[in-house]
Structure 1
């Protein structure tokens, strides 16, 4: 994530805000507890984050038609635009990280497999 933080800072987003945007983009709409679970965010932090994202017009809240007590969250047009702006940079950064560290991971896994194979003998 440290490689990705400068991109988020450039767009005035925190890591947790980005996780909420990413989760909502993939899901369409969810209630707050589902967002918290899928984005691995604690509820008190999520409440503040939802308020902030709503003030910035990145997300909207509306009542569930089938259950009027349940409030659903979804990305607003500005949130979709933010996702589409940040995501290409995100993919590029992760590709760079994989290129840089991927070979090391594969080598380490192969070493571990060799060690496991020796233990079975």
Structure 2
């Protein structure tokens, strides 16, 4: 006898996808006005926060697949938003850094991005907002095979 699946209204993958779409809607509107994609915004935010990173670490921190990041980096380099430099100690590795133009794009959008984040914090309440972030971090760190 097969095991009964949970209702789709209580399915974690479906619930996460619905929540992502609701959360991303105002961010997409903000980015559209700036000519950035969601993925480009993530790359800029991570580099601005962490400083120069190798491509593998950047892909992990931005939740992007390596081939997608490579394609995105080409476009961002052409726009002058990031630079790619070979690491002196290992010429096979590249380090990606944000440029002044990339920093300026973040600064131009920082106020609106903060308003969006604060609206979700206000909607959920500070404690539930932090709990949600903690639960999502726990979920992301969990090996589903265990």
Structure 1 residue 92 displacement after superposition: 0.9
Kindly report which structure 2 residues correspond to 1:17-36, keeping only aligned pairs within 5 A, or say none: 17-36=40-59
Structure 1 residue ranges without an equivalent (≥5) = 110-121
Aligned residues: 107
TM norm structure 2: 0.67
Runs of 4+ in 1 over 3 A off after TM superposition: none
Residue 31 (structure 2) pairs with residue 8 (structure 1): yes
* Structural mapping, 1:1-121, within 5 Å: 1-102=24-125, 105=128
Alignment root-mean-square deviation, CA:
2.0
TM normalised by structure 1 equals 0.80
Higher alpha-carbon deviation: 90-99 or 53-62: 90-99
The structure with more radius of gyration: 1
Contiguous gaps of at least 5 residues in structure 2: 1-23, 133-146
Give the distance between the partners of 2:65 and 2:110, measured in 1 at CA. 24
**2 CA distance for matches of 1:94 and 1:3?**
10
Q: Give the Å deviation of 1:57.
A: 0.3
